Structure 1
Amino acid sequence: MSLPLPGPVLVMGAGSVGCYIGGQLLGAGADVHFVARPRVLQALREHGLTVTDLDGGRAHMPATALQVHGSVPAGLVPALVLLCVKTGATAQAAAELAAAVPAGTPVLSLQNGVANAEVGAAAAPTLAWLPGMVPFNIAELGPGHFHRGTTGPLAAQAAPALQPWVAVFQAAGLRLKLHDDLRPVQWGKLLLNLNNPVNALSGLPLRAELLDRDCRVVFATLQQEALAALRAAGITPAQMTALRPERLPLVLRLPNWLFTRVASRMLRIDEKARSSMADDLALRRPTEVDAICGAVVRLAQAHGLQAPRCSQMVSLLSVPEPVPLGGRGLRRALGL
């Protein structure tokens, strides 16, 4: 990379998102450190890191080219931290960062949900917290292999600390758009992320699930509850697809023969793509359903409303070992 680099990047939580974005930056010449869980750590040390995408892009970084760690390395002074841990681990990761990196270090949250930067700031107020949004889907296809199956630009709250990184991300094939107010973007993305629990409980790859009308009816119902809560809160979600947010539930309910024509751009998804929540379910890890459906429930309740189907989705995925139900099973479980 011929661009001047502001300094090292620390990926805190090198899972699917962290490995893909960190891998893209590393492949473009950035100095990237990865902090990962033992399973991913072992895979990266044994297989290196491979990043691919639906457009045919492929890059491989051998294990010898990776700087991977089980915790934040002592003495590292990152110019930017990318926080990619699961939402439930945000406070713990924030505390670990506060103990290891200098005060004022910018931390960009690239996590699902709408409140991670606030949670991080409460746990580690000495750091400079910035909310962000990842629009695309990343699937782990094998040990050390992470595949982007959809498209879209990264988004972040505008801040002077991020301005030098826009060109760096661009050179790495990652568009980064800065917004004066990220909240509408976060809620616009959450409307789409409401499909994550549907996908996880469907047992289907992402594209196949969207072609199942029963699954789409569930997705549309969750969106309708979210849109009602957002109206009550006076929040206008950003448009994240070719369709305005309020039209999405209508289109999702269309019969397949019409949906495939009207929503053809929505279906431009790699056959390999699946939601991160489906990966969590397969690996028997806790899911982020509370950060997605739970956020809708809390917003609705704060404004005198209820979101019963979102609440039921939280319950379905909070049992010790959730199992896929399929589209029809999901509709029955939610009384639809």
Structure 2
Amino acid sequence: MIGQAGQDGKATGQPRIVVAGAGSIGCFVGGMLARGVQDVTVLVRPYMAQEISQQGIQLTDFSGLDEELSPDAVSLATDPETLGAADIILVTVKSGATGEMAAQIASYAHKDAIIVSLQNGIQNADTLRRALPERDVRAGMVPFNVVAMGGGRFHRGTSGDILIEKGRGHVARTLSVRDMAVHEVKEIVPIQWGKLLINLNNALNALSDLPLRNQIMDARWRRLMADQMAEAISVLDAAEIETTNPVTTAIPMRLVPKILRLPTWAFKAVASAMLAIDPTARSSMWEDLSKGRMTEIAELQGVIVALGQQHGVTTPINTRVAALIRQAEADKAGSPALQPEQVSGA
């Protein structure tokens, strides 16, 4: 039964939450939960613990949210032993670190802890399930992007509610706080595939070195986005994989490329109802390149390319985009600031 004991061992009636792997998404989600007076601990690297301990966490977003949490308002841990007290574990590490986090959960977390993957890509929840058999592991989908602005500030640049797989324990109710809603759904895999299709733009945004809004309002970039997504949809069709639009169920994913190809005046009218985008928002992949980190290109374009190879569907655009990102990773010079024609090879 969740919610049995607090940090001092006394009954609280509140589930204990550990955000495991606090990068941009983890720190924002953890900060929002702490702001909502949830019993939450954020498991961080020592450098992040030092930054937050000195400066606290500042939460800002596209809608005007601007709130500072003092250092003592956020419970931090650097030792994975803190997983042992968790009733709910939110996994927010990069995909490449999922195996390592699974091993830590196996070593420290109790068997009844609910584990929710709030990660990009399709395969992370399955990776956790394979490493943690007989545990309650659920996939989740975070629709918004968050960029670490420095100085303890984490900025949410786009809109949307978090979705997780339905199960025991009223997890969504526990995680829902003011300005951050969480919902449970029966079928999350089609939603994850829909999110992957949308996230294919992460790489284009990283290569463009433009704010998301500027990039999306440029018809040349939208055409490239549409061509890349249409190519990926052909792959998923061949693999008989269903997708659901994670932004709005009113517009099927296969119609999104057509919307992206609309003239800008018409696109604005449609897109305004689909997604709110902050003028400063950029993709997480842009942030990775700017900080010299490895990206999650293998979990996005890489998945489409591999699936295309399995089903005999060529993927020239996704293949080229993946190669350009890997070159930028190797160069460690941030975004190459390419034009759409340079990305497409036209």
Same fold (TM over 0.5): yes
CA distance in 1, matches of 2:270, 2:186: 32
User: 1:86-128: per-residue Cα shift (whole Å, max 9, x none)?
Assistant: 1111111111121111124211000100110111222333532
Q: How many residue pairs end up in the alignment?
A: 330
Q: 1:265 to 1:39 in 2, by over 3 A?
A: farther
Structure 1 pair 151–5 and aligned structure 2 pair: CA distance change class (3 A): farther
2:262 pairs, out of 241, 254, 257, with: 254
- Corresponding residue for 1:136? 144
Over the aligned positions, Cα root-mean-square deviation in angstroms equals 2.0
- Counterparts of 2:217 and 2:83, CA distance in 1: 50
Kindly provide the amino acid, as one letter, of the partner of residue 260 in structure 2.
Answer: L
Residue aligning to 2:212: 206
Residue 25 of structure 1 corresponds to which residue in structure 2? 33
Q: Does 1:233 align with 2:239?
A: yes
Which structure 1 segments of 5+ residues have no match?
Answer: none
Aligned to 1:91: 99
Matched, 1:215 2:225: no
2:344 match: 334
CA 1:262–1:64: 2 relative to 1, 3 Å: closer
- Corresponding residue to 2:189 among 158, 172, 183: 183
Alignment CA distance shift 1:35-1:75 (3 Å): closer
AA of the residue aligned to 1:190: L
Q: Is 1:53–2:64 an aligned residue pair?
A: no
Q: Indicate which of 276, 280, 295 corresponds to 2:288.
A: 280
Q: Give the TM-score normalised by structure 1.
A: 0.91
Amino acid at match of 1:166: A
User: Normalising by structure 2, what TM-score?
Assistant: 0.89
Instruction: Give the distance between the partners of 2:345 and 2:267, measured in 1 at CA.
Output: 23
Distance in 1 (alpha carbons) for counterparts of 2:325 and 2:112:
37
Return the match for 2:90 from 77, 82, 94: 82
Structure 1 residues 259-268 or 216-225, which shifts more?
259-268
Cα deviation for residue 335 of structure 1 reads: 2.3
- Are 2:206 and 1:196 aligned? no
Measure the CA separation in 2 of the matches of 1:157 and 1:75.
21
Write out per-residue CA displacement over residues 59-98 of structure 1, whole angstroms, 9 at most, x where no aligned residue. Answer: 3221122221223135732010000001111111111121
1:263 and 1:307 mapped to 2: Cα distance?
27
Of 253-262 and 179-188, the range deviating more from structure 2: 253-262
1:296 aligned to 2:304?
yes
Whole-angstrom CA distance in 2 between matches of 1:177 and 1:304: 37
Deviations 1:170-212 (A, max 9, x none): 3343222212121110011111101100111110111111122
Conservation of the 8 A alpha-carbon contact between 2:14 and 2:38: no
Residue 326 and residue 193 in structure 1: after superposition, are their counterparts in 2 closer, same or farther (change >3 A)? Answer: same
8 A contact 1:49–1:62 mirrored in 2: yes
Which residue in the other structure is 2:272 paired with?
Answer: 264
The alignment partner of 1:93 has SS state of helix
- 4+ residue runs over 4 A deviation: none
Q: 5+ residue gaps in structure 2?
A: 1-11
Closer/same/farther in 2, CA of residues 129 and 209 from structure 1, 3 Å limit = same
Partners in 2 of 1:81 and 1:28 — Cα distance? 17
Percent identical among aligned pairs is 34
Q: Does the Cα contact within 8 Å between 2:138 and 2:164 map onto a contact in 1?
A: yes
